[in-house]
Amino acid sequence: MSKVYLLGAGPGDPGLITVRARDILSRADVVVYDYLANKAFLDFCRPDATIYYVGKKGGDHTLPQDKINDLLVEMAKAGKMVARLKGGDPFVFGRGGEEAEELVAAGCPFEVVPGVTSAVAAPAYAGIPITHRSFCSSVSFITGHEDPTKAESSLNWEAFAQSGSTLVFFMGVKNLPHITENLMKAGMPGDTPAALVRWGTTCHHKSLVATVATMAEEAARKGFAPPSLFVVGGVVSLRDTLGWYEKRPLLGQGVVVTRSREQASDLTRLLADEGACCYEFPAIEIAPLEDADPVRQAIGRLFDYDWVIFTSVNGVKCFFAEIDTLSLDARVFAGIRVAAIGPATAQALAARGIRPDFVPERFVAESVVAGLLDQGVVGTRVLIPRAREAREVLPEKLAEAGAYVDVLAVYDTKPVNQDPAEIVEAMQSGAIRYVTFTSSSTVRNFFAKVPPEVVKAADDVKLACIGPITAKTLGEFGFTPDIVAEAYTVPALAKAVIDDAVAEAGGAS
């Protein structure tokens, strides 16, 4: 149905968008989003959705408000389901009320989905509760964007200064001298605690605590710029005690994730949970085979094998996709022993009704072979469903040990044709601290896009890899990894990066 949904995207942390808003994004024909709405939310959209960016940044309007209103009406009248994605809450200094009025005037149905406002979330991430029984019993949200050249302010500064409320000023950084001067003129003590919270709840989050009298000078000295909230009141004194988000070891540090787009989410989540600004730059993509008949034929004679060894989650997914195509299920493995190289692969099998008979303690081919020999693999027939391009160590070592091995390609890995400009620019500006590699193919394909000289010129960039094989491939490009995971798994790689950041910070997270 044709309808415009005014969605609150929350303050920036993708986890703070509501379930309702995410559901609407997944179904909308058209998405219109602002500068302050995290681009990560676009991942929730339909692949065929039409996306309009209409952000306003520092007076630079990509599309003026009246044109945004016209766009919403036009799309609704064209019979589209429209998601108007706005940072924070659409009705808290978000001009959502104006857009709703225009829709009513045009006869377009609409719905409002409230969001988490930055006035609550950003101070909370900084350790500042905006209400507290020991300090205040009310809170005021105020625009800090009032024109300081106006002959008379429309704000009741005396009421703010003498209310005892926590004051939260939106968009007030440029007017800090004006705001603080008016508060003190109205009777607020200059030593009243005050804080600025910039990019609250995002990986760029940072806060600054001072007093009303000193904040303008401190903000200028520390280079605080929009978008920032200005918080005034006794609750600010709790920041040092209750601050939690700024203790995250990777906060503000850029980390490049080179895994395929289908697999990047796990590593990205683990790093982002510790504050990292993740740059997903998939060096490879998983591609289905052009001809899946050999896979289906192998499934049809699976009973010929004693062992099936899965070397990756992708191998499990692609093999079972063909099992599904044949209208079969896990019963095709009856009487066959199954091995999984690594816990993630074992978990993928378990989700499909197969509990592996063998999972090695170390996840490299040499250790797998030793473990399988103990399991009696000699003289048995073995099937290895895997990528077309992969190391030959496992099948060769098993064959040398006396097993009869068939390698079955079930998917392809291909380089991703992605523009490296963002990564190169971020690396040159010092925004990137770590680059992570989860396989030899991610190394080769990353450097096919990003020249090694760019990485070598960035003195502060550290390279992290999942194991010795990947480390050896890095050596082919003239690099020695700074970090190698102790266990050859994605969680272990994330932990190694986090531990390195903690060590650099000189303490525990």
Catalytic residue list: 34, 56, 171
Long-range own/partner contacts, residues 425-430 (CB < 8 A, 24 or more apart): 426/254, 426/279, 427/454, 427/455, 427/458, 427/461, 428/454, 428/457, 428/458, 430/458, 430/460
Query: How far is the C-alpha of 21 from the C-alpha of 13, rounded, in Å?
Result: 14
For helices 490-505 and 264-272, the axis angle rounded to 10 degrees is 20
Strand partners, 348: none
Q: With DSSP H G I counted as helix, E B as strand and the rest as coil, what are the percentages for the chain, rounded to 5?
A: 40, 20, 40
Integer-rounded Cα Rg, in Å, for the chain is: 28
Task: Give the separation between CA 49 and CA 24, rounded to whole angstroms.
Answer: 12
User: Alpha-carbon distance 87 to 227, whole Å?
Assistant: 11
- Pairwise CA distance, residues 18 & 3, whole Å: 19
Residue 295 in contact with residue 302, Cβ under 8 Å? no
Residue 365 near residue 373, CB atoms below 8 Å: no
CA angle 398, 399, 401 (to 5 degrees): 65
What's the rounded Cα separation, in Å, for the pair 464 and 445? 16
Dist CA 359 CA 363 (whole Å): 9
Quick one: which of 253, 245, 274, 275 has its CA closest to 123?
A: 245
Q: How far apart are the first and last CA of the chain?
A: 49
